[in-house]
């Protein structure tokens, strides 16, 4: 009996990106809280674009190019980082 380690690696990689997406959703929830509680315009809904791009591993079914999938995932992480920095600045600005 042989074990297909490449399949196990793909599954672990996919679950890792799910955890990253959950952390991005947590940031969106914090942004929503700040928008409702303190009436700051945090644009929390843009985090959902980042989550969709971060879960680019699902596109592995459609797109065979691994580099393109990695680029899409990295773009999602870059968007999340920029939005997180903006949210941090909103949260710590002196009013």
Alpha helices (H) in the chain, listed in sequence order: 5-38, 46-54, 66-92
Alpha-carbon 80 to chain mean position? 6
Euclidean distance between CA atoms 43 and 31, whole angstroms? 7
Domain boundaries, the chain: 5-92
Note the pLDDT tens digit of each residue in 32-65: 999 999 888 889 999 999 999 888 777 776 777 7
Mean pLDDT of the chain: 87
């Amino acid at each position: 009996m042989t074990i297909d380690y490449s399949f196990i690696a793909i599954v672990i990689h996919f679950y890792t990106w799910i955890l990253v997406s959950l952390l991005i959703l947590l940031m969106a929830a914090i942004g929503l809280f700040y928008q409702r509680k303190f009436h700051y315009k945090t644009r929390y809904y843009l985090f959902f674009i980042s989550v969709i791009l971060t879960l680019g591993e699902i596109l592995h079914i459609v797109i065979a190019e691994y580099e393109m999938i990695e680029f899409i995932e990295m773009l999602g992480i870059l968007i999340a980082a920029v939005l997180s920095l903006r949210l941090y600045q909103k949260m710590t600005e002196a009013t």
